[in-house]
Structure 1
Amino acid sequence: MQTADRIRRAQPADVPAIVDLVYALAEYERAPQECRLTADQLQTALFGTAPAVFCHVAPVDDEVVGCALWFLNYSTWRGVHGIYLEDLFVRPEHRGSGLGKALLTALAQECVTNNYERLEWSVLNWNTPAIDFYHSLGATPQDEWTTYRLTDTALTKLGS
């Protein structure tokens, strides 16, 4: 079976494994204290009455070892939706096997099938293995933009 053939949409039974992968990603990104995701939250987001998050998984021998969590965004300039990839993670022992590329290929196929015109994501500046991988696929950095974020106290203060 080719690597791309192993990628599939997440199923409810995958939720605990996906949560574990998100926590492993937080550890890899040096911010485990910021990760508070629960299985119930992810279950609702992926499979509740109004799913707003989607996920593809990479199972190997019936174990989910990689995932791509994503949601739709919208480009006012293009006038169509796109995909924003929130998390892409493959367990270290499975890196280099083509699963990361296969997960991104599945998302590119979602874009093509649904006439979405963008597949976007963020990468930490220090994560050179990921940056090199993305460059090898033809992805280009959007260096002219800086991401801003409001959370915790600042978000509460502004929203109150």
Structure 2
Amino acid sequence: MIRRARPDDIAAITDLIYALAEYEHARELCTVVPEQMNTALFGPEPSVFAHVAEESSGSVVGVALWFRNFSTWDGVHGIYLEDLFVLPEHRGAGHGRGLLAALAHECVERDYTRLSWSVLDWNEPSIGFYRSLGAEPQDEWTTFRLSGEALRALGT
């Protein structure tokens, strides 16, 4: 079952974020705590949203964390998928497709024109999965990030 996240999912969502960081070989960079996720998802001004994949047993086995972006060219919002992760032992059961379908449904219902995300170049299983859904890589774009000391230097 795919559904919107609830406050009682925070521990599971945080665990899945750490599992994703481990999968991406970057566990040491992940520092989020449940309180941060609770505020981001359910605080007075939510800045991120989530859907979860739940097994019939009630266990949360996958998550899609997303936020709204905006297309200046289309003049409407879209969804940026920050994280999509399904526990390895639950892959192949349709959870990833279900999570993406739920986000596509959000886009269609709200007249958003885009569902976008990034994937690591080496993650061939995910790339193949995304292509099978009709997603197209945006190879002409290069992602940049400003963080750490460079961010502080520019921001002060």
**TM more than 0.5:** yes
Q: Distance in 1 between matches of 2:151 and 2:30?
A: 17
Corresponding residue of 2:73: 77
The Cα shift of 1:52 comes to 1.0
Corresponding residue of 2:7: 12
Q: CA RMSD in A?
A: 0.4
Per-residue CA shift, 1:68-124, capped at 9, x if unaligned?
Answer: 000000000000000000000000000001000000000000000000000000000
| Matched residue SS, 1:138 | coil
* Alignment-mate amino acid for residue 47 of structure 1: F
What is the TM-score with the length of structure 1 in the denominator? 0.96
* Alignment-mate amino acid for residue 109 of structure 1: H
Per-residue CA shift, 1:13-70, capped at 9, x if unaligned?
Answer: 0000000000000000011111111100000000000111000000111110000000
Q: How many pairs are equivalent?
A: 155
Corresponding residue of 1:66: 62
Q: Percent identity?
A: 64
Structure 1 stretches (4+) deviating beyond 4 angstroms?
Answer: none
The Cα shift of 1:133 comes to 0.1
Corresponding residue of 2:43: 48
Corresponding residue of 1:26: 21
Q: Does 1:149 align with 2:152?
A: no
Unaligned runs of at least 5 residues, structure 2: none
What is the TM-score with the length of structure 2 in the denominator? 0.99
